[in-house]
Amino acid sequence: MHPGDEWKTAFKTRNGLYEWLVMPFGLSNAPSTFMRLMNHVLKAFISKFLVVYFDDILIYSTSVEEHLEHFRDLFKVLREQRLYANLKKCHFLTNSDNFLGYIVSQEGICMDPSKVEAIVNWPTLRSLQEVRSFHGLASLYRRFIAGFSTLVAPITECLKGGVFKWDEAAQKSFELIKKKMTEAPLLALPDFEKVFEVCCDASNVGIGAVLSQEGKPLAFFSEKLNGPRRNYSTYDKEFYAIVQALANWRHYLISKEFVLFSDHEALKYINGQHKLNNRHAKWVEFLQAYTFVIKHKSGTQNQVADALSRRCGLLSSMQVKVLGFEIIKELYEEDVDFSKTWHECSKGLWKDFLVHDD
């Protein structure tokens, strides 16, 4: 605690008042303050050979010698900043480790077997509180399960209205999720030297997508469709799936060309639409920030197991951009109704029309 601020942490017991000399996590600003401290102290190492989340520090290296050198650098900084690690909670020189509920290794990321066991052995849900508890734990691993939001939809319906109603559909969903947990794949780690693939799909219940490289899944994404979105046309649902998938994986895709697969043939011509409603215009404008090759894949081929086996190394040199409104401008020159007006306006003010860029 900062000298002079100890009194702010005072609490009363039968033996009198006590004050914290070190910052407890119970304070409202404690987590952000502690995380800011760790980021500041370890900023020279973060993303180079170290990941930190509060008091959990993970060091990754390519060799034992390099690993030992990384340890020395870390310990030196911790010593200088008077920060101490609990030796009983430390693991050294391991090929895999449990980090924040995930097993991380050089092969990729998988679920913690102890948590999977807890989900698989979970008894039938009998109250709203049990539904919330199960849903919370299962959601921790939603990235490992394709279409998680759609699968769990019958269970989440039980949370509506504040009245517990467990039916046959909810029970089937409950058993299916437990089964999927035991079949969840190993998620590979992203390699920014390789091409990313995004496969998207939509149904009447929800949307789903998978991010992969060379046939190996990196992450799954799903979202349940609620309210007006359920009334979208098939085209709009598929388009919405693309937008949400790209927004979810923006940190992977924004700076690198990737391949986008959809089972809706018309979406191949996103950049060639002559008429755009407000919704489509907003989505096309969003897509302009990305560079990708869009490919059609039929529904029978766009199953996760098959989609992940598709390689795209030969496409890495192709450059295709969604130009959106720029293409609309070009089409004016050839349009039967607007070409004359467009050419005249290009020279300056013509009648009541003037071309200008906002």
Domain with CATH 3.30.420.10 in the chain: 196-323
Instruction: Among 1.20.1260.10, 3.30.420.10, 3.40.640.10, 3.40.50.300, name the CATH number for the domain at 196-323.
Output: 3.30.420.10
What the block records as the tokens of 285 is: 């404008």
- List of residues 6+ apart from 111 with CB closer than 8 A: 102, 103, 141, 144, 181, 184
Ordered per-residue pLDDT tens for the chain, 358 residues: 889 989 988 999 999 999 999 888 778 888 888 899 999 999 999 989 999 998 899 999 999 999 999 999 999 999 999 999 999 999 999 999 888 888 898 888 888 888 888 888 888 888 888 888 888 888 888 888 888 888 888 888 887 777 788 888 889 999 998 888 877 778 888 888 899 999 988 888 888 889 999 888 898 888 888 888 888 988 889 989 999 999 999 999 998 899 998 876 666 666 666 677 888 889 988 988 999 988 876 554 444 423 222 222 222 222 333 334 444 555 666 677 777 777 777 666 677 666 655 4
Distances (CA, A) of 297 to 14, 226, 268: 70, 26, 10
Structure pTM?
0.59
Which CATH fold would you assign to the domain 111-183? Alpha-Beta Plaits (3.30.70)
Q: Is 132 exposed, middle or buried (0-12, 13-18, 19+ CB in 10 A)?
A: middle
6-101 folds as: Alpha-Beta Plaits (3.30.70)
Cα–Cα distances in angstroms (integers) from residue 93 to residues 23, 65, 333, in the given order: 31, 10, 66
